Structure 1
Amino acid sequence: MGHQQNALHVKDLNVAVKTPKGMLPLVQNLHLELKPGKILGLAGESGSGKTVTCMALLQLLNPKTMSVKGSIQLHGRELTDLNQKKMRSVLGRDIGFIMQNPMNAFTPVYTIGNQFVETIRSHTVLTKKQAVDLAITSMEKMNLPEPSKLMKKYPFQLSGGMLQRVMIAISMCLRPSVVIADEPTTALDVTNQLQVLRELDRLRTECGTSILLISHDLGVISELADDVAVMRNGRIIETADVFQLFDHPKQEYTKQLLQARPALLLNDQLKRRVI
């Protein structure tokens, strides 16, 4: 482990949901270590507990129906002790979140610019003009065309791929040290997937961001991750560095996941372009 502190350290995370028959475990005894400037891939089929884990880390689960126990530390600071207000200030500023469906991240009745500026101003002391400038610069960095025009548009006027990139721009503009990306490429076609993966890689390289990349697609994880944790039925069954996991998977389940991964066309294209 060394002396270097983990960017995100999850210990003994247990998540259960209340049912009429008692507590039903969704995630059991989960350990994750996200090292500074590294990308950790969390892989598993849908229903394996990946998204619940993600929501638990961000403290977005409803305490009335869900029980979350264990330790979640961001640079050594325990998050499970924070009240909602403190946690909200951590989200966005210290932890960026890129969700699966970009449409859900936006309110349909406000322009992109309005939502971008709101996010920035709720976490900083920037003036409105400074926030607008930062939003435009962040979109330029994501290679989005004509950001000042995009600012005036409504979410429905943008394609899924564009929205996803705007969402990444928003979640990255405050330079969070940790980003949790939950299936960031699922809703996109191959070209847009490549673009989003390249941007995530660039952010890690340029800003030293640590990324938890959650995906059912091992092809996507193999491109970006340094280490991979494989999840099944709410437990992590195997953790290894990416080469070891792909060349010598220990668990039968991991082998099946590797066989099921999509054709490697995406990988070849990515390797040529990213690396």
Structure 2
Amino acid sequence: MHHPNVLEVRGLQVELHIGKETVPLLKPLDLTLGKGQVLGLVGESGSGKSMTCHAILRLLNLQNMRVEGSVRLNGRELSALRAEDMRRVRGKDIGFIMQNPMNAFTPVYTIGSQFIETLRTHSKISKSQAKEQAVAALADMNLPDPGRIMKCYPHQLSGGMLQRVMIAISMCLQPSLLIADEPTTALDVVNQLQVLRELERLRREKGTSILLISHDLGVICQLADEVAVMKKGEVVEQAGVHELFDRPQHEYTRMLLQARLRARKDA
């Protein structure tokens, strides 16, 4: 059965329990993402953006946290899955690119060995096939000398390069959904543009849907079709990207837009 929406989030909420007290961290949230669509989730730090993506990925430490609501990927309810099934979903069906790409790699293994291992975990291919795919994917990212990059250790590459290695892995695995959590925050403008361009190519060539999380509306507006604005754990406004920029409804959205215009004037 083909499902029209890749991601459907309904009533997702996170509460923290401290003794008898309940602190709502994420108010009930609804998000829908169609195939090949980019949804931008924007808000200042602490607004609940990262918590939303960790809740979708089921990566929250649950001891005194309660997560409720429904998260469906291609019609399949994720909150009901066993932990090991969810782990499989996290690599193959949902890709994840984080703000500090160093955390995604093991420091003591080369980029090549980690790339090959990841591909072979998720598809039945030989080591040499995986190596071929990895080198081709790195070359497609316009990374210089892919053969040399395969032999490098993570600390030998810049943040922008590591981000593009992560996108190259997604190009090979072709997840239906990619969650990019502040992927350009630590990068200079040139690297930001390159990473955004490669994310756009992933959407165009593989039909991947992208949940792009950023505090920067400028980044969001380059890639997103639709934008959800978060403040203090809730979505205060959601609209198409042009509508949001031309006719923001919520004062908080207007404030974010003005802050961005000021930043551009100062630059």
TM bin, normalised by shorter chain, reads over 0.9
> TM-score scaled by structure 2?
0.95
Contact 1:219 1:264 in 2 (8 A): no
- State the distance in 1 between where 2:266 and 2:127 align: 44
The reply to whether residue 152 of structure 1 matches residue 151 of structure 2 is yes
Match of 2:101 in 1: 102
Contact 1:98 1:171 in 2 (8 A): no
- State the distance in 2 between where 1:122 and 1:263 align: 44
Q: Give, as a single letter, the amino acid of the residue that structure 2 aligns with 1:30.
A: L
CA separation of 1:265/1:112 partners in 2, compared to 1, >3 Å: closer, same or farther? farther
- The residue matched to 1:7 in structure 2 has which SS? strand
- State the distance in 2 between where 1:228 and 1:108 align: 35
Aligned residues: 264
1:1-275 map, 5 Å: 5-20=4-19, 22-261=21-260, 262-263=263-264
Contact 2:3 2:75 in 1 (8 A): no
- Listed one character per residue, the Cα deviations across residues 210-235 of structure 1 (whole Å, up to 9, x for unaligned) are 11100000000011110000011111
RMSD, aligned α-carbons: 1.7
- State the distance in 2 between where 1:176 and 1:93 align: 6
CA deviation after TM superposition for structure 1 residue 63, in Å: 2.0
CA deviation after TM superposition for structure 1 residue 22, in Å: 2.8
Contact 1:43 1:215 in 2 (8 A): yes
CA separation of 1:106/1:265 partners in 2, compared to 1, >3 Å: closer, same or farther? farther
- State the distance in 2 between where 1:23 and 1:110 align: 43
Q: Give, as a single letter, the amino acid of the residue that structure 2 aligns with 1:263.
A: R
CA deviation after TM superposition for structure 1 residue 144, in Å: 1.1
Contact 2:6 2:34 in 1 (8 A): yes
- State the distance in 2 between where 1:205 and 1:170 align: 16
Match of 1:272 in 2: none
Q: Give, as a single letter, the amino acid of the residue that structure 2 aligns with 1:182.
A: D
58-67 or 81-90, which deviates more: 58-67
- Listed one character per residue, the Cα deviations across residues 4-63 of structure 1 (whole Å, up to 9, x for unaligned) are 621100000011223345332111110001111111000100000000001111111122
- State the distance in 2 between where 1:30 and 1:96 align: 21
- State the distance in 1 between where 2:66 and 2:169 align: 30
Match of 1:271 in 2: none
- State the distance in 1 between where 2:200 and 2:265 align: 19
CA separation of 1:112/1:15 partners in 2, compared to 1, >3 Å: closer, same or farther? same
- The residue matched to 1:263 in structure 2 has which SS? helix
> TM-score scaled by structure 1?
0.92
Q: Percent identity?
A: 62
- State the distance in 1 between where 2:61 and 2:172 align: 28
- Listed one character per residue, the Cα deviations across residues 61-98 of structure 1 (whole Å, up to 9, x for unaligned) are 12223211000001111010111111111112111111
Q: Give, as a single letter, the amino acid of the residue that structure 1 aligns with 2:47.
A: S
> Which stretches of structure 1, 4 residues or longer, exceed 3 Å deviation after superposition?
none
130-139 or 6-15, which deviates more: 130-139
Give structure 2 stretches of 5+ with no counterpart.
Answer: none
